[in-house]
Amino acid sequence: MNASTSFSRYGLSLFAAVLCGCETVKHARQAQESGDLLAGETTLQTDRSGLSQGKTLTLAALERIARDNHPSILQARQAVESARLQCKMTRSGRLPQISVSGAYNRTTQNSWGRSPHSDMRGSWSGSLGLDLLLYDFGRLDAEEKQAVEAIVAAEEQLREAELDVTYNVRTSFFERHRSDNLLRVALESVQQYTEHLEEARTMMEVGTRRKYDVTKAEVDLGNARLDVVTASNSLIVAHAQLNRALGLADNPDYRLDDARLPSATNNASALMYIARSNTPSLAVLRARERAASAYVDQTIAELYPEFSLGADADLSGRNFPFVWNFSWGLNLIQNIFDGHRKTARIDEAVTQLRIARSRVADAEQTLYLDLVSTIAQAESARKRSDIARLTQQQAIDNLAIVNEQYRVGISSAIERTDAQVMVTQAKSDVIRAYYDEQAAAARLALLTGAPAETHTPQALLK
């Protein structure tokens, strides 16, 4: 009766395992179907992205679109799921390992001293086995710690991927604005040179200017138009780069709202303090350091024996009713000598631990250098912006004076062109300095692991 009850329980457990396996297989088959794709498994389509034609989008909206659909985010999320499954498989070592087998055999019954014959007789056999780990001196605990730290590292890498995607969207967003503004300056320059040409022709007709002035104005206008072509191409590339950062492979004609990242502190020590606790790349390395320490525990535990419980129930016979048997035993496994392989593994694990620690230290030093460099770039861009704005106003005032002097015959065509070039260059310098500062702010947000909030800025150019 007891044996029958045991077999019933084993049968129910086996049935439950089969049901779980069927559900898992069902999900696996669904994943193989092209209709069951997660965001990031395929290129984002414009009609599903919210990037409709002519729609104006904020930087925050673009960041959300990228985080929801970029392939690198999906890859990082699946890496987290993979790490969790690996941990689950490691923990399965604590559970009983149950196996079942069955067989039907037909064999001859020849034996020594008797005439051989080809008659065959059939026999049935079946068995149910159980193996349970009782104690391993912490080896499985150490493996589980490594698996848990792998989950932590994968989760931090997911956060790092999200920060990278956000950073790429931001830099592409500001580069798109930079290219757009530089194109606007180039178009304004074409308009100015067109007016210069018309004015030079009129003055030549009345005899106050020579043919040279007209020719010079035509050359200046041609060069300005070439600058427009260059700026237009840069804008096309910048827009394509933004689309790539969003996870697109087409070119929807959406518009961008203005956005500005607030200036971060220029105190490298304060930013380093924030980065130490927030930067996911450091958290990944610290998790790997803890995993390396757990690996040392694992290699030490492998020096000691492993205790397990084994049990086996089987049925066999040629005809019903079958004969059943049951056995169990305590097992001890210990390798007495393996050519110092285990002790060498301990030493190797210690070297891996020291390497992991040094990687954390190296990453901290590199991070601090990056912070200092980026702060310097931000400060440089800020100062260049102030100087460029002052220069821009001076260049505009100077152009107005030169234009008046040209009209009364005091200034030459070359001086007028030089004055216009100075205005165009000053306006371009203002734009470049402004967006260099924004790029530095985005870089600092990435390095500290905490994306900054954005707000709408004042007009960049008057």
Q: Give the pLDDT score at 452.
A: 57
- Quick check: 263 pLDDT over 50? yes
- Quick check: 281 pLDDT over 50? yes
Residue 406 to residue 200: CA distance in whole angstroms: 10
Residue 20 to residue 15: CA distance in whole angstroms: 9
- Quick check: 216 pLDDT over 70? yes
DSSP letter for each residue of 281-303: HHHHHHHHHHHHHHHHHHHHHTT
SS3 of 371, please?
A: helix
Which tokens in the block code for residue 441?
A: 């702010």
Residue found by looking up tokens 């206008």 in the block:
221
Picking from 283, 288, 47, 280, the residue whose alpha carbon sits closest to that of residue 165 is: 280
Which tokens in the block code for residue 224?
A: 């300005």
Taking the CA of residue 288 as centre, how many other CA atoms within 13 Å lie in the half-sphere pointing to its CB? Answer: 19
Domains in the chain with CATH codes: 67-93+134-448 (1.20.1600.10)
Q: Give the pLDDT score at 20.
A: 58
What pLDDT band is residue 7 in, cutting at 50, 70 and 90?
A: very low
Q: Give the pLDDT score at 320.
A: 78
Q: Do 326 and 312 meet the contact criterion of CB atoms below 8 Å apart?
A: yes
- Quick check: 72 pLDDT over 90? yes
What is the per-residue pLDDT across 135-152, written as a single tens digit (0 to 9) for each? 999 999 999 999 999 999
- Quick check: 19 pLDDT over 60? no
Total length of the chain: 462
What pLDDT band is residue 54 in, cutting at 50, 70 and 90?
A: confident
Residue 457 to residue 261: CA distance in whole angstroms: 9
According to DSSP, the β-strands at 306-317 and 255-256 are unpaired
**128 pairs with which residues across the strands?**
100, 313
Picking from 394, 159, 200, 187, the residue whose alpha carbon sits closest to that of residue 287 is: 159
Q: Do 83 and 148 meet the contact criterion of CB atoms below 8 Å apart?
A: no
Mean pLDDT of the chain: 87
Helix (H) or strand (E) holding 79: helix 71-91
Picking from 356, 439, 446, 428, the residue whose alpha carbon sits closest to that of residue 392 is: 428
Contacts of residue 158, Cβ cutoff 8 Å, sequence gap at least 6: 73, 76, 77, 79, 80
Mean pLDDT of 53-63: 86
Q: What's the whole-model pTM score?
A: 0.83
Residue 224 to residue 230: CA distance in whole angstroms: 10
Q: Give the pLDDT score at 461.
A: 45
Residue 339 vs residue 303, higher pLDDT: 303
| Dihedrals phi, psi of 100, to nearest 5 degrees | -135, 145
What is the per-residue pLDDT across 90-105, written as a single tens digit (0 to 9) for each? 998 888 998 999 998 8
What pLDDT band is residue 457 in, cutting at 50, 70 and 90?
A: low
Q: Give the pLDDT score at 2.
A: 47
Between CA 90 and CA 95, with CA 310 as vertex, the angle to 5 degrees is: 25
Q: Give the pLDDT score at 1.
A: 42
Residue 128 to residue 98: CA distance in whole angstroms: 7
- Quick check: 233 pLDDT over 90? yes
Among left, alpha and beta (phi > 0; psi -120 to 50; other), residue 113 is: left
Mean pLDDT of 298-305: 92
| Dihedrals phi, psi of 24, to nearest 5 degrees | -65, -45
Q: Percentage of the chain with pLDDT > 70?
A: 91
Q: Give the pLDDT score at 86.
A: 93
